[in-house]
Structure formats: C-alpha cells, structure tokens
Amino acid sequence: MEQEIVWNAFHNVYWGTQISVYFWIVGASAGSFVISSLGWVFGIKKYKPVSLFASNASIGLLMIVPIVLIADLGQPWRFFHLINWGFWHYSSPMAWGAFLILSYPVSMMVYSWFIYRKNETLARIIGLISVLLAVSTHWYTGIVMELNPNRELNHTAMAPLIFLTGAFISGIGFLIILLVIRNHFLEPAKRIGKDFILGLGKMMGFGVLFDAWLIYCESVQMLYGNEEEYTTLTEVLFGVFQGPYLWMEILCSLALPLILIFSRLGKNVWAIVAAAILVDIGVFGMRIWWVKAGQFLQTFY
Amino acid sequence: MDINRRDFLKITGAGAMGIALSSMPFSLRAMELRKWGEDYSYLSVHDRIPFPYTGLSGEGGIAFVQGDRVVKLEANPHHVSSQGLLSPAETVSYLKLYDPDRIVHPLKRFGKRGEGAWLKISWQQAIAEIGNKLSATLDAGQAEAIGLSYERDFSGGSLSRFLHTLGSARHIVHEEWNDPNRARAFQELWGENSMLPDVKRSKFVLNFGANPMETDHHLAHDLVDGMVENKAKLITFDVRLSNTAARSDAWHPILPGTDSAVALAMARTIMHHRLADYGFIKRQTNINAKKLAQHLDRYTPAWAESVSGVAAQTIENLAWEFARSRPACVIIGGGVSHHQFGAEQVRACMLLPIITGNIEVRGGNCLPRRVELGQPQPVPAAPPPAKNAFDAGKDRLAMLFNYRANPAFANPSPDRWRRLLQDEGRVGTIVDFGPYLTETAIFADYILPDTLALERFDPVASEDSFWPWLSIRQPVISPVGKSRDLREILTDIINHVDPDGKRKMKSYWSFGDGEAWTWACLEASEFAKDSNEAAAKLKKFGVWPVYGRLDPVRHEMTSFHTGRDLEPYYELDRKLEVKRSGKSEVSWPDWFPPTPEPANPRDGTLTLSVYRWNAHHRPGTANNKYLQELFHSNPAWINKATARALGIRDGGLIRITSSIGTLVTKARATEAIHPNVVAMAQGFGHTAGGRVAQAKPREAAPKGNLYRDRDIENNLWWDDTGVNPCEIIPDAHDARGGGYAWSDTRIKVMKAQSGDRYGMIIRHSNA
Amino acid sequence: MTKVRHYGLQNPTSFGVKGKRRYAMVVDLTRCTGCMECSLACKAEFDTPLGVMRTWVKVIERGQFPNVQRRFIPRFCNHCDNPPCVRACPVQATFKHEDGYVLQRYNRCIGCRTCMIACPYNARHLLPADRSNPHDPTRVADKCTFCVHRVERGLAPACVAACTANALIFGDINDPDSEVAKLVGLFPTDTIKKDLGTRPQVYYIGLEDMDNVESYHHRSAQMKKEFNTFKRNYPNSHFMHGDMLEEEQED
C-alpha cells in the first residue's frame, strides 16, 4: 500500500566515526600484540626478534584509545565513574570494557618490561594474561554492539568473531608497515628479513580468507533474513554505506589483498606492504559500517 | 466497538467512584491523579505560583510563575470553555515574553525607511514626537488620513476609541484573526457574526472546508467527544486531506469553491423527497417551502457532480442521512468562505440545518452566546466611516498606527503594502506597537512596544461558548524591559496632543491605567451589571461566572449541585431571514461559479489553495522556537498523479505562476489532495520578524531586545523556512463579504527552470 | 503471565504485584487529533532544547487518492518492564524505579550513549551542550520520565494533562479501579515492538503495525531533506559526527 511518513522526530546515529576509530585502534593493537606473543608466549622462535617492537607498537596504539573514547563522552570529566566500584553495573558490557581497556595496557607494559629484561618465565605468564586481555578487549567491543536486539545488523553471535578477525589482520598489517618503516632506520644487520615479512603476509592472507568467509556467512544470513536484515544488506550496506562496505571492506580488505598475497606478486615485499595498507584501510571501513549502519535504519523510527 | 470508553467508565466507575472519592484517603483512590492547578519544577524545589490569565485568543489558562518568570501555562479548570485544554500555540506562548527578538524599548528609525537602522529613545521623546506629528496632522485638517491597522482589538476597544478620539474612522482591519465573508453571511442570516456548532451532542456532522483539528482545538475536542462518545458521523468536504478530513468517517475531495453546489444539491434532495422539517421552516423562518423547492429544483445532484466532482449518488445519500439523523449540524470553514462568493457559499451551506430544523437545538447549529463589553464613559462618537475600504495600492495616509498586524507579509499581494509603507509621500508617519520587527514593522518610524498577554490587563468576553462568561487578562509578571501598557501609551499621546483639553479629547482618556480601563469595561457590561461577586471571582479565578467543576477524567464541566454534565440551554428567539427584500435585500442562496476557469491537471493549470497548519493556526507564532521546530516549512502539496503528468518529482523544485507573480518552491507529491489543486500553508517564508522566524539564529539581535537564548543560538538546526504563498495571491475580494478571496488563485504549475532557486519570487510588472 | 526477564541491577517489576504501583499509559488513537500538544507541553515542562524530543507524534499517510488515511501515533518512552537501556548502562545512571518508571540520574551519566544504542524505541537522546537555562543538565542522556516529579505529587504527567483530545490516559495499572487498568482490560490494546521482549507499558488502542524498516522505506522526500538538514546543522553531531547524509537529488 502507498504509505508515507509525513512527520517524525529525528534521531542521530549516536555512535559515530570516533567510536569506529576506537574500534580500529583497539583491533590493530590486539592484532599486533598477538604477533608479539607468538615468540615469547607460544615459543615460536621466528617471532622473538619482533616481539618487543610489536608489543611496544601495540602499547603506543592503545595510548590513543583513552583520548578518543573520553573525548567522545558527553561528560568527559566523568570517565572515572566507569571505574567507580559503587557505580559498576555488571550486566553492561561497557562496564567490563572499561576495566579491560585499563588493565590491558598495564599488563602489556609489564610484559614488555620482562621481554626487555629477557625474563622468559614471567614474560610467558604475563604474556598469556595479556593475550587473554587483548582478545577480551576486542571481544567485548563486539558484544557491546551485539546485545542490542533491535539492531539487526549487529545482533549476531558472529559479531565478536568478525571483530576479532578484523583485529588480527589489521594488526598484522599495521605491524608489517611499521616493520618496513623501521627497517629504513636500522643498520642492515639488524633489519627484519624479507622472508619474515612474507611470512607475516601469508598469515595475514589466511586471516583475510577467514574474514571473507565470515562476511559471506553474515551476508547470506542477511540476504535470506527478515525484512530488516534484508533491507540492511541491500539498501543500507549496498546503498548508503556503499563506500565503507563495498569499496573499503570487500574490495580493499578482502579482494585485493588476497590477489596480492596469493598471486605471484606475493613474493614481493612491496606487494605485501601494499596488501597491508589495503587491509588496514578496509578494516577501518568495516568498523565504520558496522557501527553506523546498525543504527542507521532506526534513526527515522 | 459498541461500548465506548466514556460509557464504560460511567457504568462501572461512576457509582463506586462517588463513594471512593468521599471516603478514602487520597493515595488509595483510583483515577487519583489531578491534572491542573499545581506545578513543580523537575529539577529544583522552587515554588511555582499559579495565576489565572487569559490568552490572546480568549483561552482561559493558568500561568505558573517561578521567581519572576513565567515558566508554564496550563488550562484554567474553572473556565467553562477551557475543557482543561489550551491550544498548542497557547501552551508555548509564554516564550514570547522572553523572546530574544522581542523589542522592549521604544525605537526610532534613522536613515532611510526600511533600512533597519534604529535608535533607542525614551518614552517621553517618542510620545512627544508622535504627539507633535499628530497635532500637525490635526491642525492641517487631515484627521481622516490617520489610519489604524490591526487584526483584532484585544484591549476591549481602546484602539477604536483612540482613532475615534482623533476624529478618524479609517479602520484597516486585516484578516488573520477574522473571516469577514463568513461573518457577513451569518450577520445576514441571524444578526450575529458567527455560528456555534453543537458538535459534541450531534449525531451527524457535515464539515464544509473547516479544519478544527488544526485550527480550533476546543471545537476539535468537542468533535472528538461527539465522534467517539456520541458515535457521531463526520463527513468532510475539503480540497486537501486536513487532519480533520483524516479523522473523518469520509473525506470527499471537492473542487475548490464548489461546496455550495453540493450543499444546494443536498438541499434540493431534502426538499424534493420531502425530508425537511416543515414545522420548523414555517415557525422559525421566513421561507416559503414551496418556493424554496422551486428555487432549488435546478440544482440536481447530477449537476452538482459535474460542478464539484462529488458523485451524485454520494450527495443524495448524504442528504438522506443528514435529514434523517437528528440532531445533525454543519461546520463551515475557510474552505467555503475564502472565495470570491464566500459569503454566498456560507449561506448555501447553512440552508441545510435550517430546512432540517437543526437550528438552536441540542446537537445542531446554534447562535453564539455573546457577551458585550461596555466602555468607560464618556465614549467618543464614531466619525462617519470612510466611503471605500482602504486600498493599499492607491490611498494615502498622513499617519498609520499598526497594532500587531503584518499586512506586508500576510495579506494577499503584500508587495502593494510594502510599496505603500516604503513611500514616505504616501504614508507620512508609521507607528508600530511591536513586539517584533516584522515585515511591516521594519518600515515603521517609531516602535512603541506595548505589553503582551501575560503582562497586561484586558477585559475579555465570551464569543463562542454555550455558557456566556466574562474574564480578565491580568498581568502575572511586571512588564519586561521598558514595554508599557497600551492604554497608558495612548493616554500619554492624547494628553500630549491635547494638553489643556481644548481639542475635547482629554476627557475620553481620563479613565486611568489599563487596570482601571478593564474594570470599567467589565462594570459597564450588561452581563455583570447586577453582580457583586463578579469582580472578586474574576480576580481569583480569572473568569466569571464559575459554572461548575471540571471532571479531570472526562474533561467535562459538571454542575456543582448535581454532579452531572452541564447542559446548554437552547432557545431560538428570532425568525431566520433566509430571503429578504427591501433595503437590505438578500436573495435565495444561489450558485455562483468560482471565478477561475476550469483547471486542467495535464497542462498544469491548477488552483492555489491556502490553509493554516497545525500549531501555526494563528498569527504571532512565527518566532516561537518550539512551534517552528515542529513546522517550519510549507512545501506545495500536489497530487501524485498531477505531479507525474507534469514531470514533477516529490521534493523537487516547482514554479508556481499566478497572474501577479511567480514563486519557486518545493513540491510535496502526495495522495492527500485533489488533483486540480495545489495547497500551501500560510504564515511561512518570513523575511523579517525575528531570528527564529527566518532561521538565522546566529545573526545579531535587534536593537531594543533584552534576553538571550543559547538554545536558539546553538541548537536551531533547520534552514528552510518556506515560501510565502501570499506573494502570488492577487488582491481579490468577495464583493459581498468584503474579505479576501484567498483560495481562488488560478496558477500554472511547472517544473523549475534552470536558474530557479528555492524561495525565489518574481513579480509581474502588471501587479 | 509470562515471566519477566531480569538483567543486572534493575528492580524486579511491580507489574501485577499486589500492593505495589505500576504506572502505565494508554494512548487512545481513536481520539488523537494529531495536534502535537503533548510534544509541546512536554517541551514546556522540561524546557527541552531544540533538536531533541522526549515525546513526539509520528504522522503516517497511507492509501491512494481519494481513499487516503492519515494516522497519528504519539510516541513516548515505553517504560519497559524489561528495559534494554537499564541493563546496558555501565554506571547505573539509568535505573528502574519500583513504581515502574525508567529514570535517569543526570549527575551520574557520563554521556556514553550506550543506552541510546540499546533502546529499540529511540526514546532517549543526548542533551546538547547549550540550554536556555544554563543550570539545566547538558550533554547527558535524557528521556521521558512519565513526569515522575508530578506523579509523585499526585499530578498527571504534563502531556496527559494537556492533551487536547483527552486521548492520553495515565494511571496505576495494578489498581483494578484505575482507568488504565480498565481500558487495558476491556479494549484490544497493542504495544510497539512487543516481540522484542521489552514489555512496554504504553498501551495503544487502535495501533497499526509499525517498525524500523517500514519507517525507513516510507519517508517522504520532504522528511529526507529535513533529516539531512538536521544532521548537517545539529551541534550534537560535532562530537557524535556519526551520521551519513543520504543522497540528495539535484534539482
């Protein structure tokens, strides 16, 4: 039937770019920390040389997080309410998140310290805790978005996994870029070898493959889903959010990197670096559409 | 649903409630929440003190004052016609007091007229200068060239007294508050200016072009009561789907200006099938039923269908239903009267209740219960009225006093007014009473801000209530800034013109201040003459008499004694003169075709119809931030099929060309309008009158203002304020009623051309 | 009666519990005339800034000429018995009162807007930084309170007292003698999005189905343009800057 909304109140998309930026930073930090932990926690020798650097890069990234998050609050000076035990609300994922975001950098710093002191045992124990915290920090961001039954796009158990995979690949990408830049400032002997970069690239490639599979699952569910899911996919993601979804996520972070990494170009370091840059851009796009498109449909409700 | 809410409550609740109310403590009572009389701040514990007041439209309310500020308005439960409600515009009208654009200091223009350069001056200086100019005008024998432009005299007659004192009768009354065409029709019918439809107790309501649900919320309240509780049927004829049409049982889209064809065909059907109330016709009217039947014979439903587009079968069915439903009534609105033959059309529509005997009966069309206010003695004699109505295109004035009217914006073809006001040769001095720098006030030479509704005394009398009342508008706060009471300003001017009484003017202005004036007016009213309690009650409750108690659940005035609903008293004390010969001759209600030639949606030849939108149903709302937030723009409604034929997209720009000009606005392609009509809301497209009205919140405040509102400055988000449709409406009148033919504009609609900007107005040279 | 879910520190619902009060609202859409008095009375009561609304009226047109309908749906916070906003708030700034209200503590709220993401009804908003009265709260979440400050003193909420058509009815639904209890008992009432399990306590008589997608699909061109203007100009966006402008067709 012909129908038209003639008058309604307007509502904002309440979580915007700043939150997307925060999701990206936390993700890249967690991803790069996982790489760091491969050497010292999981004992893969190959990764030991970059552990300290990756961990420090991860801490550096995380330092930006509080600034972004607190500036985004309506009342920035009240951020300490989040760590006030009397105010703490256990059913809110945000309340847990606040503690994770605070404890995670601290434990990483301790971990970095023990790597620096070459204390294998303690580094392993603290590292393990940090890995758990890193994973949870990112897991919770997925949960925050997921537990809103009215936001059909986000309301899926796949959410944390998609977030985590994105975190993993963007973290590796970020690390690759940093390592290549770092090589420029090091004397040739201390430089990270080509094989190492290529290995990281392969690892990122498999992550991208997994991510593509998750996105496919999610999209198929939305395609065959209820009206709201279908509209979200066809009109919001392919329409309004075409840029972040189709061009940034699907093209930049899935299609192009896969070609770059698994084709013959994959033997070239610069191709891997290009793939890393693309992945980082694409994952940022994913953060944008994930945060905003989920709220978008309801702004006019 | 067979049983309705109110019945249900009556059956189950009323008995038990009577006992409960009297015996149980408050907290245990059901339906315990009170609705009026108290108010609290949601943040602080400050006391809010209630004061009864009366709004400009005559609505009785209670103002809550916290500190020295009015913080809230609500209905006055003692007021018999309040029904516990205020209209939306009245609810937020207190914002006007503290409006950052309100002028609260006398201003004098310097530089050229209309340039917008103002100087703050003292009251003494303003009154002396205006008084000197008035004296000069009077000395030159030009008293008749002193004009007074206003919408309505809210002060109980002091404006007219001022004009008459000066020896002029040049009243220039504008139409935003009035409908002269309709008033004329009723005047001819029964000697009163209006009609009171008893919709609450009616069974069948025929609505010709009225829209109470957007423009008269008290009538709408009754109408809803009638529809829901009394199971009345509401049938609406309107060119667009107004809110009233939307809530009707049926909406019959009709060609503009053809309501009377339908009414006449219905009357014919009633007479033809002998459904009329012949006893009533014989007793209470001067109609000869046979002759009327003969007269109506040519207006067959088939003919009406060809004229109005309403199916003949529908007309016939409705005629049967109207005649068979008792009681039934008609309501008549601007859709009927805002035409070249508006007065005639209103008369034709009124034929229906007359021949079916639904006049002055329970649920029918009733005469207004009017209360006349008196005047303090002595009253200046009114000079003989001017021969012709004022013509802004030709006439000249020595001085013009403009009281709250905005003809340079709101009248058809406002450009004529702008040219008149701009020209210092044609209008010598312009004095405006504020409170905003409107499109008219920007041409003023002096602005003398007078007080607003919550700061002043005025006598008010009922106009459209079944229970006559008197009330006072009383100040609840002291005037903001330097604004002064109107009566004091006028008295000072007169005293300056006539300091020693030589001109014989002073004696008319010795009544004192605004409060003294108000009491004098009330005491001189026949209605309150013998009552000792009136004054005390008026002060305490704001209204006199207090007829009963307002039931908070049903919003119904109940008697103090019986507890039952008040019932109006119906008595028809005069004979209705539908046809009259002699000096003031009136012929049979007849059909007059609307002047514009037939429309053709295919080539874009349509009719422009104007209406008033909800929340902006009366003037003075343009600078109210809350009302503007709800409705700030007026896209032109156009039927989807028409739009498709003309290649117009929903939301796209269109060009509307009339005989006097062209405007470019946005189209709103909708199903809710007749294909031959384009409808635009009046009161939008301001180019002055405050920063909210123009959606320019960050512009500098006007000179002479007092307050700031950071909310407006920072949060006002819209930038589209609409386009003023009056710019292309030619200045055509109903010859009989004297009012404008608002909705008879033949227009040509097309897609916007290249170079057209939104809001563009091109005036044709012949205008 | 189905069991109501509980999360976090929200009070157990008093709905249907004898001896306790549970305030609820009934909206009689057969009476509503769409005058928007409820929105204005609410704005006046709370001095609500421009751009946000605690109470608003949604207007829908449907049908084809000449069979066209226009429907008005006054919208409020539903004061759910299982409020998603309460369980989402990280600092317990929003809570469920024993009498049924869902309320907001302004001085505790940090403005993280999680509750707004959680609310399926868009009933919450963030107050802008600038208010008419500088002493009013700014930059915290706000919502309809059912006028708790009035109800606790025995007064009906502002919108109910002001409604020009007597279409809003408010009262204690646990009290079988109250008007709301009788109306809900007698008439077929509906609530908005009851499938979400939020147990809304604003009951509509004569409500037709409405959901996000419908609302999204059927926006008129005028509404789209207005919405874009809102997103462009409303100052909240400077720290939310979240929204996407939709395509605007060129003329």
Separation between Cα atoms, residue B302 and residue B286, nearest integer Å: 29
The pLDDT, as a whole number, for residue C43 is 95
Give the mean model confidence (pLDDT) for residues C97-109: 92
B159 and B211 assigned to the same domain? no
Token pair belonging to B224: 């809803």
Q: Are B715 and C149 an interchain contact pair (Cβ–Cβ within 8 Å)?
A: no
Q: From residue B301, how far is each of B250, B334, B341, C92 by CA, in Å?
A: 18, 24, 21, 69
Provide the β-strand partners of residue C189.
C205
Alpha helix locations (H) across B325-360? Answer: 334-337, 342-355
Q: Identify the CATH number of the domain in which residue B121 sits.
A: 3.40.50.740
Most B-contacting residue of A4, A5, A6, A10 (CB-CB within 10 A), to test interface:
A4
- Closest to A197 in 3D by CA, of A212, A220, A177, A215: A177
A250 touching C, CB under 8 A?
no
Residue B636: band (very low, low, confident or very high) from pLDDT cuts 50, 70, 90: very high
A265 touching C, CB under 8 A?
no
B170 and B205 assigned to the same domain? no
pLDDT tops 80 at residue B301: yes
Q: Is residue B731 part of a domain?
A: yes
Chain B residue numbers with beta carbons less than 8 Å from the beta carbon of A12 are none
Token pair belonging to B267: 């009357």
Separation between Cα atoms, residue B452 and residue B443, nearest integer Å: 22
Token pair belonging to C67: 């069979």
A176 and A127 assigned to the same domain? no
B178 touching A, CB under 8 A?
no
A159 and A301 assigned to the same domain? yes
B488 and B383 assigned to the same domain? yes
Parallel/antiparallel/unpaired status of strands B548-551 and B745-751: unpaired
Q: Are C117 and A1 an interchain contact pair (Cβ–Cβ within 8 Å)?
A: no
Q: Where are the domains of chain C?
A: 23-233
B243 touching A, CB under 8 A?
no
Q: Is residue A265 part of a domain?
A: yes
Q: Is residue A2 part of a domain?
A: no
pLDDT tops 80 at residue B531: no
B670 touching A, CB under 8 A?
yes
Q: Are A15 and C53 an interchain contact pair (Cβ–Cβ within 8 Å)?
A: no
Most C-contacting residue of B2, B711, B713, B720 (CB-CB within 10 A), to test interface:
B711
A85 touching C, CB under 8 A?
no
Domain-ending residue, one of A97, A124, A147: A147
Q: Is residue B590 part of a domain?
A: no
Percent residues over pLDDT 90 in chain B? 68
Nearest CA in chain A to C84: A148
The pLDDT, as a whole number, for residue B13 is 37
Q: How far is C190 from chain A (nearest CA, A)?
A: 17
Q: How far is B173 from chain A (nearest CA, A)?
A: 35
Instruction: Please list the helix, strand and coil fractions of chain B in percent, rounded to the nearest 5, in that order.
Output: 30, 20, 50
Q: Is residue B404 part of a domain?
A: yes
SS (H, E, C) B565-623: ECCCCCCCCCCECCCECCCCCECCCCCCCCCCCCCECCCCEEEEEEECCCCCCCCCCCC
Domain-ending residue, one of B366, B397, B420: B366
B143 and B163 assigned to the same domain? yes
Chain C residue numbers with beta carbons less than 8 Å from the beta carbon of B228 are 28, 30-31
Q: Which residue has the tokens 């204390």?
A: A119
B573 touching A, CB under 8 A?
no
pLDDT tops 60 at residue C250: no
Q: Is residue A217 part of a domain?
A: yes
Domain-ending residue, one of B312, B343, B366: B366
Domain-ending residue, one of A98, A128, A147: A147
Q: Is residue B274 part of a domain?
A: yes
Q: How far is B59 from chain A (nearest CA, A)?
A: 27
Token pair belonging to B572: 């028809």
- Say whether A296 sits in a helix, a strand or coil: helix
Alpha helix locations (H) across B115-216? Answer: 123-139, 158-166, 180-190, 212-215
| Cβ neighbours of residue A103 closer than 8 Å, sequence gap 6 or more | A133
Strands (E), B384-498: 397-403, 427-432, 446-447, 458-461, 470-473
Q: Are A73 and C110 an interchain contact pair (Cβ–Cβ within 8 Å)?
A: yes
Q: Are C149 and B635 an interchain contact pair (Cβ–Cβ within 8 Å)?
A: no
Phi, psi of B161 (to 5 degrees): -60, -40
Chain A residue numbers with beta carbons less than 8 Å from the beta carbon of C63 are 1-2
Residue C247: band (very low, low, confident or very high) from pLDDT cuts 50, 70, 90: low
Q: Are B13 and C177 an interchain contact pair (Cβ–Cβ within 8 Å)?
A: yes
Number of structural domains (chain A) is 2
Q: Are C111 and A90 an interchain contact pair (Cβ–Cβ within 8 Å)?
A: no
A99 touching C, CB under 8 A?
no
Token pair belonging to B44: 């602080």
Q: Tell me if B300 sits within 8 A of B268, measured CB to CB.
A: yes
- The closest CB to that of A148, out of C53, C110, C118, belongs to C118
Give the model confidence (pLDDT) of B540-582 as tens digits: 898 988 999 998 888 889 998 888 888 898 989 888 888 888 7
Q: How far is B470 from chain C (nearest CA, A)?
A: 23
B396 and B317 assigned to the same domain? no
Q: Choose the weakest-confidence range: B199-208, B595-604, B682-691.
A: B595-604
Nearest CA in chain A to B717: A10
Q: Which residue has the tokens 């970069």?
A: A197
Nearest CA in chain C to B34: C155
Separation between Cα atoms, residue B676 and residue B673, nearest integer Å: 8
B695 and B741 assigned to the same domain? yes
A 162-221 residues inside an 8 A Cβ radius of C: none
Task: Round the average pLDDT of chain B to a whole number and report it.
Answer: 89
pLDDT tops 80 at residue B117: yes
Token pair belonging to A33: 């920390």
Q: Identify the CATH number of the domain in which residue B228 sits.
A: 3.40.228.10
Chain B residue numbers with beta carbons less than 8 Å from the beta carbon of C177 are 13, 16-17, 20, 30-31
A 113-172 residues inside an 8 A Cβ radius of C: 144-145, 147-151
Q: How far is C149 from chain A (nearest CA, A)?
A: 24
Q: Are C164 and B554 an interchain contact pair (Cβ–Cβ within 8 Å)?
A: no
pLDDT tops 90 at residue A162: yes
Q: Is residue B76 part of a domain?
A: no
Residue B17: band (very low, low, confident or very high) from pLDDT cuts 50, 70, 90: very low
Q: Choose the weakest-confidence range: B346-350, B367-371, B639-643, B652-656.
A: B367-371
Residues of A at the B interface, defined by Cβ within 8 angstroms: 2, 4, 7
Size of interface A-C (CB pairs under 8 A): 218
Nearest CA in chain B to C70: B246
- The H or E element spanning position B147 is strand B146-150
B356 and B381 assigned to the same domain? no
* Chains in contact with A, counting 3 or more C-beta pairs less than 8 Å apart as contact: B, C
Question: How many Cβ atoms sit within 10 Å of the Cβ of residue B459?
Answer: 27
- The closest CB to that of B220, out of C164, C172, C177, belongs to C164
B755: domain range?
601-763
DSSP state of B735: T
A198 and A262 assigned to the same domain? yes
Separation between Cα atoms, residue B28 and residue B22, nearest integer Å: 12
Domain-ending residue, one of A104, A129, A147: A147
Chain C residue numbers with beta carbons less than 8 Å from the beta carbon of B713 are 130
B256 and B402 assigned to the same domain? no
Q: Tell me if C143 sits within 8 A of C123, measured CB to CB.
A: yes
Q: Is residue B743 part of a domain?
A: yes
B300 and B446 assigned to the same domain? no
Q: Identify the CATH number of the domain in which residue B697 sits.
A: 2.40.40.20
Token pair belonging to B77: 């439960």
pLDDT tops 90 at residue B200: yes
Token pair belonging to B464: 């459209």
Separation between Cα atoms, residue B189 and residue B183, nearest integer Å: 10
Q: Are B214 and C234 an interchain contact pair (Cβ–Cβ within 8 Å)?
A: no
B347 and B228 assigned to the same domain? yes
Q: Tell me if B727 sits within 8 A of B759, measured CB to CB.
A: no
Q: From residue B652, how far is each of B643, B666, B667, B669 by CA, in Å?
A: 10, 5, 6, 9
Q: Is residue A80 part of a domain?
A: yes
The residue type at B691: R
Most A-contacting residue of C110, C127, C193, C241 (CB-CB within 10 A), to test interface:
C110
A286: domain range?
155-301
Give the model confidence (pLDDT) of B561-572 as tens digits: 888 888 898 989
Q: How far is B170 from chain A (nearest CA, A)?
A: 44
* Chains in contact with B, counting 3 or more C-beta pairs less than 8 Å apart as contact: A, C
pLDDT tops 90 at residue C243: no
Model-level pTM greater than 0.90? yes
Chain C residue numbers with beta carbons less than 8 Å from the beta carbon of B629 are 50-51
Q: Are A94 and C88 an interchain contact pair (Cβ–Cβ within 8 Å)?
A: yes
The pLDDT, as a whole number, for residue B527 is 79
B302 and B387 assigned to the same domain? no
Q: How far is A165 from chain C (nearest CA, A)?
A: 24
Provide the β-strand partners of residue C25.
C170, C202
Q: Are B719 and C233 an interchain contact pair (Cβ–Cβ within 8 Å)?
A: yes
Separation between Cα atoms, residue B394 and residue B692, nearest integer Å: 34
Give the mean model confidence (pLDDT) for residues B306-328: 95
Separation between Cα atoms, residue A78 and residue A71, nearest integer Å: 11
Number of structural domains (chain B) is 4
Q: Are A2 and B670 an interchain contact pair (Cβ–Cβ within 8 Å)?
A: no
- The H or E element spanning position C40 is helix C37-46
A137 and A191 assigned to the same domain? no
- The closest CB to that of A11, out of C8, C112, C122, belongs to C122
A71 touching C, CB under 8 A?
yes
B672 and B687 assigned to the same domain? yes
Q: Choose the weakest-confidence range: A155-169, B23-37, B131-145.
A: B23-37
A177 and A143 assigned to the same domain? no
Q: Identify the CATH number of the domain in which residue A26 sits.
A: 1.20.1630.10
Most C-contacting residue of A19, A84, A88, A91 (CB-CB within 10 A), to test interface:
A91
Q: Is residue A7 part of a domain?
A: no
Separation between Cα atoms, residue B44 and residue C106, nearest integer Å: 13
The pLDDT, as a whole number, for residue C246 is 67
| Cβ neighbours of residue B431 closer than 8 Å, sequence gap 6 or more | B130, B399, B400, B401, B402, B444, B445, B446, B447, B448
Q: How far is C39 from chain A (nearest CA, A)?
A: 10
Nearest CA in chain A to B637: A6
Separation between Cα atoms, residue B173 and residue A114, nearest integer Å: 90
Does the interface predicted TM-score (ipTM) exceed 0.85?
yes
Q: Are C90 and A16 an interchain contact pair (Cβ–Cβ within 8 Å)?
A: no
Q: Tell me if B723 sits within 8 A of B634, measured CB to CB.
A: yes
Residue B163: band (very low, low, confident or very high) from pLDDT cuts 50, 70, 90: very high
From the candidate CATH numbers 3.30.70.20, 3.90.1300.10, 2.40.50.430, 3.60.20.40, the one assigned to the domain spanning C23-233: 3.30.70.20
